[in-house]
Every structure is written in C-alpha cells, then in structure tokens.
Amino acid sequence: MTRWMRSGGRDPGRIAVFYAILGPAFIALLGLVVDGGGKVRALQEAHNIASEAARTAGQAIYAPGAILGEETVLDPEAAVAAAEAYLNATPATDHSVELSDDLQQLTITVEVSYDPIVLGFLDGGSWVVSGTVEATLVIG
C-alpha cells in the first residue's frame, strides 16, 4: 500500500496483462469441462438409445417357427419396424437399423446432437455424436 501511494497512485498495468493472458485460458478450461461433459453425456445417450432399440427389435421373433420348435429367428420386418418405431420416439437426429443375412445379428447406429454451451462460438453449430450397438439373438 505504501509503495502504491509513493508512486503517486499510478498503476503500471501488470495485473491487466496477467488477466488478458489467463482469461481466455480460463474460459477454454471452463468450456472443456462443461461442453466436454455434455458431449460425453450425448455419447452415453446415443449408446443407450441404440441399446434399447436393439432390445426392442430383438423381441420380435418369428413366432410360428418358435412355437413349432424350429430354429428361433427374428421376424425381419417386425424387428426393423419395432426398432424404427422406438427410434422415432427418441431425440435421435439420425439412425439406421441393419439386420444380418442370417437374421441373428442387429446393428443399430444412432446419432444425437449436442449444442455446446461455452464453446459454441468456435464452430457455431451442434456437435453430432453417434452410438453403435450390435445385438445377437441368443436362445437359451
């Protein structure tokens, strides 16, 4: 305090340079924490949506064959329709449902968008993340 008073009350501005350099670094760090966490949550949401759609589709088996004791396989139309119906009711921005040739494997890919809160000014748009799940029909 006495040094400041002896200098006539003038401030050389050193602290302003310190904040000018570290201010953007703190904002970037905050953005990484907030928007990085949001992107991780969006990835988890995409994976959860794809998992539930695969579970829903996996329940659509070909009933007549299963009742007669034949090999249990998915009913392709019903499985894809069930997955599509589930996916259309979710906040997913895009999705695809693929069924293997042997009707035993489902591959569902879901895209979910995340709007960054802090770092949105960098690219100006939503971040799109995707989750892919492969489900195999197992009888037992």
Q: For residue 11, is pLDDT > 90?
A: no
Query: Is position 79 within any domain?
Result: yes
Better-scored residue on pLDDT, 125 or 130: 130
Query: Is position 6 within any domain?
Result: no
**If residue 3 lies in a helix (H) or strand (E), which one and from where to where?**
helix 2-6
pLDDT at residue 1, as a whole number: 53
Query: Is position 67 within any domain?
Result: yes
Query: Is position 78 within any domain?
Result: yes
pLDDT at residue 43, as a whole number: 95
The percent of residues above 70 in pLDDT, for the chain, comes to: 88
Query: Is position 114 within any domain?
Result: yes
Distance from C-alpha of 23 to C-alpha of 99, rounded to nearest angstrom = 52
> What is the per-residue pLDDT across 45-100, written as a single tens digit (0 to 9) for each?
999 999 999 999 888 887 888 788 887 777 888 888 999 999 999 999 899 999 88
Q: How far is CA 139 from CA 70, 73, 77, 108, in A?
A: 12, 9, 20, 20
Domain that holds residue 66: 12-136
Average pLDDT over every residue of 39-47: 95
pLDDT at residue 90, as a whole number: 93
Query: Is position 1 within any domain?
Result: no
pLDDT at residue 38, as a whole number: 93
pLDDT at residue 63, as a whole number: 80
Radius of gyration (Cα) for the chain, nearest Å? 27
Query: Is position 4 within any domain?
Result: no
Q: For residue 4, is pLDDT > 60?
A: no
The contacts of residue 105 (CB under 8 Å, 6+ apart) are: 99, 134, 135, 136, 137
Q: What are phi and psi of 100, to 5 degrees?
A: -70, 165
How many domains are contained in the chain? 1
- The 3-state DSSP class for residue 61 equals strand
pLDDT at residue 96, as a whole number: 93
Query: Is position 69 within any domain?
Result: yes
Please tell me the pTM assigned to this model.
Answer: 0.75
